[in-house]
Copies of this chain bind each other. A is one copy, B any other.
Amino acid sequence: MTHQTVGHPGLPDDPRAAVTEPTPSCPVEITLDVLRGRWMTLVIRELLREELSFTELRQALPSLSDKVLADRLAHLVQWGVLERRRQPGWPPRTQYALTPHGRRLGPVLQTLWDWGNEL
């Protein structure tokens, strides 16, 4: 963390903390964008336990459709949260594993859990 402004304790001393409209360069927006969308946190939770294949994820989250699962995984790969490893041979198999950056979402989700669990 950088140091705090004197006038606004608790807010980062960064120009992006002073924007007056939503912008993709704001770190808070970035994180919320990674987490955005139904099923997203559950997919991440499953992969925090262990790396899984497409089908294993489907079995873990039976009500999640193929299309949405593929969307979520592609989204996370694009953000550098997930690594996708195709296995050669037949039948095809693709393993999904969190990157180091992705694994650091664990504490973030814990923070969200704790606040939501308050009161």
Contacts and interface: CB of A to CB of B under 8 A. Distances in A.
Nearest to A22: B38
B116 A20 contact: no
Interface residues of A, number: 49
Please tell me how many copies of the chain the complex holds. Answer: 2
Interface of A is mostly: helix
A93 interface: no
A45 to B, nearest CB: 7
Interface of A: 1, 8, 10-12, 17, 19-22, 26-32, 34-35, 38-39, 41-42, 45, 48-49, 60-64, 80, 101, 104-119
- 4 closest pairs, A vs B, by CB? A27-B116, A30-B116, A31-B116, A27-B117
